[in-house]
Amino acid sequence: MKDYQYPLDLEWSTEEMVQVMALWQALEQAYEKGIDNQQFLEKYQAFKKVVRSIGEERRLGREFEETAGYSLYQTLQNAKKNEKKILKMKG
């Protein structure tokens, strides 16, 4: 059971928050049980429509990694070169 909060910006709309939360949930799933690789990449693309700047992406990714222990950067790199259907990160 998680005991942390997702990094969010309170200035985002509800829809934008939902898209960002969907990426954090997909990231958790990649570590905890595996996720369809294409599905993860689609959640990332939706996230990038909200978080356009690489600086903000890195900041949010670091915040999430500090609280949850899951790396957005490492997971994204693996997803881009993963040739399997399922993306499974090692904790």
- Residue 67 sits in a domain whose CATH number is 1.10.220.80
Does some domain include residue 2?
Answer: no
In angstroms, the CA 42 to CA 75 distance is: 13
Q: What percent of the chain has pLDDT over 90?
A: 93
Q: Can you tell me whether residue 70 is helix, strand or coil?
A: coil
What's the number of domains the chain is made of?
1
Does some domain include residue 65?
Answer: yes
Does some domain include residue 46?
Answer: yes
What average pLDDT does the segment 43-64 reach? 98
In angstroms, the CA 89 to CA 49 distance is: 24
Does some domain include residue 6?
Answer: no
Q: Which domain holds residue 58?
A: 21-84
How would you classify the pairing of strands 86-87 and 35-36? antiparallel
Longest dimension (CA), the chain: 37
Does some domain include residue 75?
Answer: yes
Other CB atoms within 10 Å distance of the CB of residue 90: 6
Does some domain include residue 10?
Answer: no
Does some domain include residue 55?
Answer: yes
Residue 3 pLDDT > 80, yes or no?
A: no
pLDDT band at 91, cuts 50/70/90? confident
Residue 1 pLDDT > 70, yes or no?
A: no
Q: How far is CA 13 from CA 3, 9, 10, 19, 63, in A?
A: 24, 9, 8, 10, 20
Does some domain include residue 34?
Answer: yes
